[in-house]
Amino acid sequence: MRMCSLNKIANLIKNYIFATCCVTLLSTSKCQGISNMSITMPAAVASGESVKMTCTYNLGTDPLYTVKWYKGSKEFFRYVPKELPHTRVFPWPGINVDVSQSGPNQVVLRDVQRYLSDKYRCEVSADAPSFHTKIVSAWLHVVYPPIGRPILSLEKRHYTIGDKLKGNCTSPPSSPPSNVTWYLNDKWMNSSFARSLDDDYEIGRGHKMRTTTVGLELEVNSFRVGKMRIRCVADLYGVFRTSTETILDEEKPRLASILSTFSSSPNDDEVLDEKCSVK
């Protein structure tokens, strides 16, 4: 009897140890692997400037094995903590890596040019025991920002309710061409047409500065205290933005038009003439 009790106790202890190990292994597997990974960079940067690309990630309990950066399918930077030096740059035309500011969480490119617009990827790999790998990506657009403000032209500056308002807005030259948007009293308006034209000069490698002309045609139906604000915005990827606006006045009724509504009828004129003739 005593031996049976001892065997039962031993089995219970074994089962407890086994269950504890399983829970520990499951918890450990959940902690392992790469999570919360993201890439941060501006959507657009002006040609000739520097750009910082940041890659954040959580390795859990795993050590870092390597971080690789790609432009399209071409690797241009690698960080390996087990190697000396930790960083390695792969030479590609036009890609200038600032090694002093690049490391396990970011890479900095200097003097970026228009042709470097592309999808950039960050690839992170964990070391043993998981060897997990994860990739995130984002687009970078290298642009020639708009030069100056949009040119806004309207048929007239005074309107009355029911009038047709017609106008054009031409964005300043940029590459690529800017997106042009109309606002009436801070309310977005649909454009009636749009066209894009090359400007007079090229900016290298076949890229031309271009302007965009957008038309607006609508019926005037409201004023704010006798005023109407028209604004034209030229925008490039939400990073470069310039605008022009003008205030239009409500046209006041003229005195002649008011008096004309009270003009005499032909019959009244005849009665007046009769009175004069009797006299």
Domain residue spans of the chain: 34-143, 151-254
CATH architecture group of domain 151-254: Sandwich (2.60)
Does domain 34-143 fall under CATH 2.60.40.10? My reply is: yes
Domains 34-143 and 151-254 share a fold: yes
pLDDT tier at 223, thresholds 50, 70, 90: confident
pLDDT for the residue 132: 93
Mean pLDDT of 164-185: 91
- Which residue intervals of the chain are DSSP H helices? 2-31, 255-260, 266-278
Residue 190 carries which side chain, given as an amino acid letter? N
pLDDT tier at 61, thresholds 50, 70, 90: confident
Asked, as a colleague might, if the bond just before 173 is cis with ω within 30 of 0, I would say no
Answer yes or no: are the C-beta atoms of 115 and 95 closer than 8 Å. Answer: no
Judge if pTM exceeds 0.75. no
Least Cα distance to 210 among 110, 114, 100 occurs for 114
Distance, CA of 217 to CA of 219 (rounded, Å): 7
> CA quadruple 242, 118, 91, 86: dihedral positive or negative?
positive
Answer yes or no: are the C-beta atoms of 67 and 78 closer than 8 Å. Answer: yes
3-state secondary structure 214-271: EEEEEECCCCECCEEEEEEEEEECCCEEEEEEEEEEECCCCHHHHHHCCCCCHHHHHH
pLDDT for the residue 56: 96
pLDDT for the residue 129: 85
Residue 12 carries which side chain, given as an amino acid letter? L
pLDDT for the residue 192: 73
pLDDT tier at 171, thresholds 50, 70, 90: very high
